Amino acid sequence: MARPPILSLALPSETGRVLSIQSHTVQGYVGNKAAVFPLQLLGYDVDPINSVQGQVLNGQQLCDLIEGLAANDLLYYTHLLTGYIGSVSFLDTVLQVVDRLRTVNPGLVYVCDPVMGDEGKLYVPPDLVSVYREKVIPVASMLTPNQFEVELLTGLRITSESDGLKACNILHAAGPSKVVITSLNIEGKLLLIGSHQKLEGQPPHQFKIIIPKIPAYFTGTGDLMTALLLGWSNKYPDNLEKASELAVSSLQALLHRTLEDYKAVGFDPQSSSLEIRLIQSQDDIRNPERRFKEDE
Q: How far apart are CA 66 and CA 63, in angstroms?
A: 5
| CATH number, residue 229 | 3.40.1190.20
The confidence score (pLDDT) of residue 4 equals 61
- How would DSSP label each residue in 92-146? HHHHHHHHHHHHH-TT-EEEE----EETTEE-S-THHHHHIIIIIGGG-SEE---
User: Would 296 be classed as within a structural domain?
Assistant: no
Q: How far apart are CA 165 and CA 296, in angstroms?
A: 15
Phi, psi of 229, deg, nearest 5:
-65, -40
Question: Structural domain tally of the chain?
Answer: 1
Length of the chain: 296
Active site residue 45: no
Residue-number span of the structural domain to which 269 is assigned = 17-286
Is residue 274 within 8 Å of residue 254, measured between CB atoms? no
User: Would 273 be classed as within a structural domain?
Assistant: yes
Is residue 222 within 8 Å of residue 240, measured between CB atoms? no
User: Would 5 be classed as within a structural domain?
Assistant: no
| Nearest C-alpha neighbor of 83 from the set 126, 134, 123 | 123
User: Would 163 be classed as within a structural domain?
Assistant: yes
Q: How far apart are CA 157 and CA 60, in angstroms?
A: 37
Q: What is the pLDDT along the chain (296 residues), one digit of tens a residue?
A: 556 655 555 666 778 999 999 987 777 778 899 999 999 999 999 999 987 655 567 778 888 888 899 888 889 999 999 999 989 999 999 999 999 999 999 999 999 999 999 989 999 999 999 999 999 999 999 999 999 999 999 999 999 999 999 999 999 999 999 999 999 999 999 999 999 999 988 899 999 999 999 989 898 999 999 999 999 999 999 999 999 999 999 999 999 999 999 999 998 888 888 999 999 999 999 999 988 887 75
Amino acid at 60: Q
Q: Which of 45, 163, 223, 284 is catalytic?
A: 223
CA distances from 238 to 15, 21, 86, 198, 249 (A): 16, 26, 33, 8, 19
